Amino acid sequence: MLKTLSCCLVSKKYSMMSLFTYIYVKKLQVTALCIIIFFAWGCKGDDEKKVVTPEKIIYKVDTSKAEHKVAQKPPIINITDTIAVKQIVLYMKDSARSSERIGLKLDNIYNKVLADLIKKNNLTKTGARMAWFKNSSAPFFFEAGIPVNKKPAKLPKNVLVKNIGGDSAVVAHFYGPYELTYEGYGALREWLKDNKKRASGAPYEIYIGEPIDSKGKPADPYRVQTDIVFPHH
């Protein structure tokens, strides 16, 4: 009887031990499975991070090169070596993020700000509108001015004055679409090289002709004159 009870207790003891062992093993299996899933998910995340391509940053650029290709005929460029006319110029500094914005900015400077200043100070325009461009790609930095007969007694903070001319200059009398003026600059650089001359100041443009005719329509660009001036010595 005692032997039988002892056997039963031993059997239960081993059964309990087996149960605990079984539970412990299962617990280990579950833990191991969780660890595997965790690392697998982490690896997947790393893989996904490697596959993701950063968003491409697109910078806006001037489209003038594309526009050059659609010109139907080359511009007319006549080059003369001369002495630049001495002038007093009222001008403003500005910038534009694209070539299309330059026209809007110039129109505001010439026909509003400077026009109002000239009228207010009883000044007289002595020449055509002009501009100096500091770079050839967007964003564009430039100065735009109008020559006048004298310097006003007082200037707004955003308006400056400069004296130009009186020195040697080679001028390209340019007729054609404005987006092709780069050809005028190229022709002047070649002239300086061929004649062994050096630029002595910043080049500038003088807008002799009007891009809009008397009827308010765009004028024939091959009849509109733009002078490109390279001071030299």
Q: Which residues contact 81 (CB under 8 A, 6 or more apart)?
A: 168, 169, 170, 171, 195
Torsion 206-208-214-218 (CA) sign? negative
CB atoms within 10 A of CB 173: 16
Across-strand partners of 95?
141
Is it the case that residue 213 has pLDDT exceeding 80?
A: yes
Confidence of residue 99 (pLDDT cuts 50, 70, 90): confident
What per-residue confidence (pLDDT) applies to 100?
Answer: 83
Domain 77-231, CATH homologous superfamily name and number: Regulatory factor, effector binding domain (3.20.80.10)
> How far is 141 from 149, CA to CA, in rounded Å?
27
> How far is 50 from 112, CA to CA, in rounded Å?
55
Domain ranges for the chain: 1-58, 77-231
Confidence of residue 14 (pLDDT cuts 50, 70, 90): very low
Q: Where are the alpha helices (DSSP H) in the chain?
A: 2-51, 64-68, 99-108, 115-120, 181-194
How large is the average pLDDT for residues 133-146? 93
What per-residue confidence (pLDDT) applies to 119?
Answer: 97
